[in-house]
Structure 1
Amino acid sequence: MADLSLRKIDAETAAQHLSRESLCGPKGKPRECDPGFFTEEVKAGRMAAVGFFLAGDHIASVALGACEGQTGKELEINALSGDVENVELISEGLGLLEEWAKTKGFAQMRFHTFRRGLMAISDKRGWYPSEIVMKKVFT
């Protein structure tokens, strides 16, 4: 198990990860947001930012929201980006976020993704698809 930890961070700290173009839709498709969207949402207080730290180094950031779900309070992962390619570390980070959510009183979590690798990782952790989101952007 890696020396991985979570802690709340401010919008400026989160911006190094949350302002990336890759969070605005799949390559080759219309952009669905401005790359600064998630950072601005954190600054405005509509989302919270949490950082992942490995041995003290900030390696990833996540923008979180909350809503009422079918079984209670639901944690929404609105954006997650970082400098991690190790599949085990990604799985461990997701598990750490799951445990953090439980300690904060959340009954469930959800996220949308177009990344098949993240789907496979989350599937192995007991996640399941609850909907399919189709989108068309008018340009």
Structure 2
Amino acid sequence: MVYFLYFLVHVLKLFDNILYIFPVRGHFCLPNDQDFSLTEKKKRRMERVEVPEEWDKLIFKAREKPSFFEVVNLTQESFFNIKKYFLKLAKPSIKIKSIEQLQIEAGVPTISVKRLLQRLLEKQYHPK
């Protein structure tokens, strides 16, 4: 994930700055949790779901109000192969579990992190 965010800023140049805030375990409930719950309930009512088209139909009909879910089918051409870019970078020694925030900025070759229970950006990692 860190490589991907770095890639978005420094290679594709889609963003000038990314501030990624990790959720604290057990302290959040996302709106999409309800969406997953609706899909699971619908799946339990069906006898079997085997092919992608059946999954599309199940997800589409899992919610009717306020509107049906939108199902977007992707092809292989919809994806960009980023593996060749990652092979050039050394693996940074970041321990993700202890990080609260991660910041990547254009023009700054390092990755700034804020550790859990600390309020200052403390250490920078150089991914190259």
Bigger radius of gyration: 2
The structure with the greater share of residues assigned to strand is 1
Regarding TM over 0.5, the answer is: no
TM-score normalised to structure 1 length: 0.24
